[in-house]
């Protein structure tokens, strides 16, 4: 990744930090959604206490839940402003989390028992290279990716997206982000337009992780869609899944 591209990505997320947690799905402030994520993490992670590296931790939603479950968490993110929000939350809740500002492709030295990420791999220009770096930092660890088919699935996705946009415009709903992701950045992201889980599974395997497994996060999908008024929840629903593997 060029320094210019990395700076553009960092700048976008720094600017988004002010607005990011206004979405309940980002901040996990909805108690039902938070409970569902605790269930997913408890099932996916090793028994606590484990050393967990949360890559692209953002404002700390998964880091806090993992710490609450008894794990020793290191939160890594490219955006200092995102991590500043995460630090405030950790201090308010009395959790000791290590915060590291840096790119996903350059994780801190481990070794870690588990590496997790949520909605990060699709934002990486070189996902296989990043996954290899994570494996080097966690040579005996478990990998868990929380991703989705963000471009949608099926022939009618574009029609549903246009309908949802029209409804949100009519309702004057606030967007979950401060701006659209820059197109010159999206053009460099091989997984940004994924319409299935296959490219993510293939990237994990190509990076040398073993015993790749996948689980549909049906409860997370249901909770997120149920928060929206009909028909927005149905129109905007995206397949989400956990992909796990061993080093």
Q: How much is the average pLDDT of 204-233?
A: 94
On average, the pLDDT of the chain sits at 94
pLDDT tens sequence across 97-148? 999 999 999 999 889 999 999 999 999 999 999 999 999 999 999 999 999 9
Q: What is the pLDDT of residue 156?
A: 83
Measured from the Cβ of residue 205, the count of other Cβ atoms closer than 10 Å reads 15
Q: What is the pLDDT of residue 247?
A: 93
The span from the CA of 104 to the CA of 101, in Å, is 9
Asked if residues 224 and 33 have their Cβ atoms less than 8 Å apart, the reply is yes
Q: Which residue in 2, 6, 71, 81 sits closest to 42, CA to CA?
A: 71
Task: Kindly write down the DSSP assignment for every residue of 37-70, as one continuous string.
Answer: HHHHHHHHSPSSS-EEEEET-TTSHHHHHHHHTT
pLDDT band at 2 (very low <50, low <70, confident <90, very high): confident
Structural domains in the chain, CATH included, are 3-246 (3.40.50.150)
Place of tokens 């770096």: 133
pLDDT tens sequence across 15-60? 999 999 988 889 999 999 999 999 999 999 999 999 999 999 999 9
pLDDT of 174 higher than 90: no
pLDDT of 149 higher than 90: no
Task: Output the pTM of the full model.
Answer: 0.93
Q: Please count the CA atoms within 13 angstroms of the CA of 6 that sit on its side-chain side.
A: 11
pLDDT of 69 higher than 90: yes
Q: What is the pLDDT of residue 157?
A: 85
Buried b (16+ CB within 10 A) or exposed e, 42-71: eebbeeeebbbbbbbbbbbbbbbbbbebeb
The span from the CA of 216 to the CA of 93, in Å, is 30
Place of tokens 């249901």: 222
Beta pairing class for 210-216 and 240-246 = antiparallel
């Amino acid at each position: 990744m060029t320094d210019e591209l990395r700076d553009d990505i960092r700048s976008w997320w720094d600017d988004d930090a002010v607005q990011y947690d206004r979405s309940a799905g980002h901040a996990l402030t909805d108690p039902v959604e938070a409970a569902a994520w605790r269930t997913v993490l408890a099932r996916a992670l090793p028994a606590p206490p484990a050393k967990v590296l949360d890559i692209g931790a953002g404002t700390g939603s998964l880091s806090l839940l993992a710490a609450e479950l008894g794990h020793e968490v290191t939160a890594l993110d490219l955006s200092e402003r995102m991590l500043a929000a995460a630090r405030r939350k950790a201090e308010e809740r009395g959790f000791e989390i290590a915060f590291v500002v840096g790119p996903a492709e350059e994780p801190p030295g481990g070794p870690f028992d588990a590496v997790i990420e949520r909605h990060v791999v699709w934002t990486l220009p070189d996902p296989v290279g990043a996954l290899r770096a994570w494996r080097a930092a966690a040579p005996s660890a478990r990998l868990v990716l929380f991703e989705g088919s963000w471009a949608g699935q099926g022939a009618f996705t574009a029609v549903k997206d246009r309908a949802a946009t029209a409804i949100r415009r009519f309702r004057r709903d606030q967007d979950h982000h401060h701006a659209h992701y820059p197109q010159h950045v999206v053009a460099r992201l091989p997984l940004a337009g994924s319409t299935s889980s296959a490219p993510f599974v293939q990237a994990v395997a190509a990076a040398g992780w073993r015993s790749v497994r996948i689980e549909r996060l049906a409860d997370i999908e249901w909770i997120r869609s149920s928060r929206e008024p009909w028909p927005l929840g149905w129109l905007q629903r995206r397949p989400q899944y956990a992909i796990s593997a061993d080093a």
